[in-house]
Amino acid sequence: MQTIKTDLVILGGGIAGLWLLNRVLQQGYDALLLETADLGGAQSVRSQGIIHGGTKYALNGVLTQASSSIADMPSRWRACIEGCGELDLSSAKILSEAHYMWSKASLGAKMTSFFASKALKGRVDAVSPDQRPEAFSHPDFRGNLYRLNEIVLDVPTVIDALARPHTQRILKINANDIQFELADSGVTALQLPQLRIEAQRYITTAGEGTEALLQHLNIQQPQMQRRPLHMVMVRHQSDLPTFAHCISGGSKPVVTITTHPASHGEYVWYLGGDLAESGIKLSSEQQCQKAEKLIRELLPWVELKNPRWASFHINRAEPKQSSLTRPDSAFAQTAGNCIISWPTKLALAPDLSDQILTLLDEQHIAPASKADTLVTGQLPHPDIAQPVWETMFC
Ligand code: FAD
């Protein structure tokens, strides 16, 4: 069996693994990314694509650590999209230059003055009636509307921009085939039926799949948690781009709507927020009925043409927190010669890569393998995952 040596093996090709692959290759490391399904196929292409700068996490009027550690992500992503950032994402598509927060009724004085405060200057703007997006321009709209200057991305195009330059380093493997050779010093090799791979560090970016990898690797800490969501989609034929969170004084949006282009000139309104978090025990039919009723109540003037509803369950995979709370930042931790990581948000992928590069530096892991390690055609290359609305509606 062929043995190849590389500096870093990255397990998992969602946003975290692909961003990291690009960054480490840029730093001169030799690296291989192994993926068991389609690239971005679990959480990343099912995310709403919002590159948060933290304001959404300040809905109770307080900028938490979540809001501060994420604050410079929008400008880092924007620089990449404009082709002048740490990575070149100039081929990725922006779905919206901003997203909005709206309240059904007028917001209380506390929130209104918080949104106008110095802390949020330049991040949140009140929107005057003549500048409202179409869904909120109806005369019956009585609430407040704020614009958050944070982009919303078409995630499959981001995944493509990150994967395309490095196809040769991204390999598809079978989850059941992965075996680690373990010694007291840590992992000595990763063994596949066709190939044995020795690396200086083995890095998990496998989202929910990290839990099984931790078992294979015999690592007890860190542990993983799942936060389940029941997302709703309505596929329709109205060109009504809407990117907005409905807020009502709680710490979470009642619903978050993003709009995505679908095949055959159609569109999808993708619905998350508290609707998805609180609906996890409902059947798909109940959840779709609840969502339809909510949208009718919140935006009664909106008539989507030929709407078809569907829902699905998905877990957010994150490092374990006390009482299933939402982690505040990206997470990377060393365990022997492995690094276990979760970005916790799409937006935090750059921060996760920074953390991993720092860990490599602290452990004096320098590029050692030849940067031209070639993997012969023994393993296929994975495809990019399709958005869920292309597979769930017939
Ligand atoms: P994933 O995207 O899940 O990728 C993990 C990859 O690892 C998969 O391709 C999987 O096939 C592969 N894999 C699994 N096991 C193995 C193995 N053993 N070996 C090799 N590969 C393996 N964040 C935001 O910032 N903005 C948003 O708007 C947003 N919306 C969201 C909406 C939803 C519905 C969800 C679920 C999440 C959302 N998030 C959002 C969070 C964000 O999507 C995730 O934090 C992020 O995508 C996680 O990326 P990842 O690369 O760690 O995991």
| pLDDT number for residue 114 | 66
Distance from Cα 201 to the centre of ligand 1, integer Å:
21
DSSP string, 367-382: --S-TT----TTS--P
DSSP string, 258-309: EEEE-GGG-EEEEEETHHHHHTTTS-HHHHHHHHHHHHHHHSTT---SS-EE
Pairing mode, if any, of strands 31-35 and 170-172?
A: parallel
Q: How far is CA 123 from the centre of its chain?
A: 21
Joined together, the tokens standing for residue 232 give 């709703």
Tell me the angle at which helices 15-26 and 155-163 cross, rounded to the nearest 10 degrees: 30
Please tell me the pTM assigned to this model.
0.95
Going from the N-terminus, what domains does the chain have, and what CATH number goes with each?
A: 2-44+158-224+322-392 (3.50.50.60), 97-153+226-316 (3.30.9.10)
Cβ–ligand 1 contact at 342 (below 6 Å): yes
Distance from Cα 40 to the centre of ligand 1, integer Å:
7
Cβ–ligand 1 contact at 53 (below 6 Å): no
Cβ–ligand 1 contact at 387 (below 6 Å): no
| pLDDT number for residue 374 | 61
Cβ–ligand 1 contact at 50 (below 6 Å): yes
| pLDDT number for residue 59 | 58
Joined together, the tokens standing for residue 230 give 């029941």
Joined together, the tokens standing for residue 244 give 């907005």
**Across the 394 residues of the chain, what is the mean pLDDT of every consecutive 10-residue run?**
93 98 97 97 97 72 63 94 98 97 73 65 82 95 91 98 96 96 95 94 98 97 96 98 91 94 97 98 98 97 97 97 78 97 97 98 92 67 96 86
Structure-token match 């781009």, residue found: 241
- From CA 288, how far away is CA 303, in angstroms rounded? 16
Joined together, the tokens standing for residue 156 give 């499959």
